A and B are shown apart, each in its own frame.
Chain A
Amino acid sequence: MANVMVPFTNGKGGVGKTALACSYAAARAHEGADVILADTNEGQQTAMAWSAVRAHNDILPKVRVQPANTREALEMVGRCDVLVVDTPGWNDKGTLLLARKSTFMVIPTGPSPTFDLAPTVKLLHGLRAEGIETWRMGVVLSRFSNDDKIRDSEEELARTYLREAGQGQGGYTVLEGSVRNAPAYGAGLAEGYGLTEIDRGRGLADEARGMMNTISKGVSAALQKLMRLEKELGAFRSNPGKGKERDGGRGR
């Protein structure tokens, strides 16, 4: 299996970065992947706390969670199949470093246009301006209403908002579905479960599994594209004839 790095990031706090990062790590571990979850939120270390309570409750599979700063997290690439990175609730140059090295960056956002979507769009614009390709970023609609009807309208509004924001930018990727703000999710996460492991009779686990699969598909598609680009770059580099033609054979 290829080594992939999937950071969960958004400068806006409380959008479900840690919940999704922990759940994605657990979901991939269930599939048998060798996963490390790097917790770069040095101040709060919430993923570490989740891991501790997961171990305390003997929940399997075990998920390796390691505290790290951004640089240490980047160095972990190659030590496992899937490196999931949980980031703190702010953006800085570390966010950009992670974006540059990541396979696919997951950007969770809440439903509020003013408090969640606007900061998310600013981050997307910022990353885009720094040269991060839009196909390497996926917005996940997270912590949407637990009421189906309200959730539908929130989702429609959020998708319209993000579609308008992406006009002239090549369009931003918004992953299918949304994660509801269900009380059972909160209770389960506090006990060390991932979202896909929480099923209290409402099909919540299936819903979460759908979202994790969508994220995995985004990661796979980005990985394939990256590998194809790398191959093309390798072919370009190994063909010195073209370069000589361009500069008349004089070299640089």
Chain B
Amino acid sequence: MSVKKDSALPSRFLPPPPPEDNVKRALNHYGDVRREDGKISRKTGRDVQFATIVTPEFKKWMKEEAKRRGKKQCVLLEDMRAAYLKVQAEKVR
């Protein structure tokens, strides 16, 4: 690595890595991770079917709300669970 002459850093240190160095590798270590599209959703532990009978309005609301928030319906359900538990905890307090 060449040392830039106009560098304000003490000469005993190497200059910072240039942008073209390591760009491809910096974020690719340790393989792939879970994708957002749910292709390997079983790794999240969500591998159980959950079916119930609801009103058409409820189903429509769930679908539209999830779409509006850009989330899957199971995630919206988990959000609702978190909110419910929070309210219950506040009531206990």
Contact = CB atoms under 8 A, between A and B. Distances in A.
A binds B: yes
Interface of A: 11, 69-72, 74-75, 78-79, 90-97, 113-114, 117-118, 121-123, 125-130, 157, 160-162, 164-165, 168-169
A69 B15 contact: no
B92 interface: no
A92 B75 contact: no
B29 A69 contact: no
A51 to B, nearest CB: 16
B23 interface: yes
Nearest to B6: A164
Interface residues of B, number: 36
Contact of A169 (B4, B19, B44): B19
A88 to B, nearest CB: 9
Contact of B31 (A69, A92, A123, A125): A92
Contacts of B22: 122, 125-126
Interface of B: 4, 7-10, 13-19, 21-23, 25-36, 43-44, 69, 71, 75, 78-79, 82-83
Nearest to A156: B8
Given A11-B29, A79-B83, A164-B8, A114 B17 contact: no
B27 A130 contact: yes
Contacts of B75: 75
Nearest to A172: B16
Q: Which 3 A-B pairs have the closest CB atoms?
A: A126-B26, A165-B16, A94-B33
Given A71-B44, A79-B82, A90-B29, A122 B34 contact: no
Given A125-B22, A165-B16, A79 B27 contact: no
Interface centre among A69, A94, A96, A125 (most CB of B within 10 A): A125
Nearest to A75: B75
Nearest to B43: A69
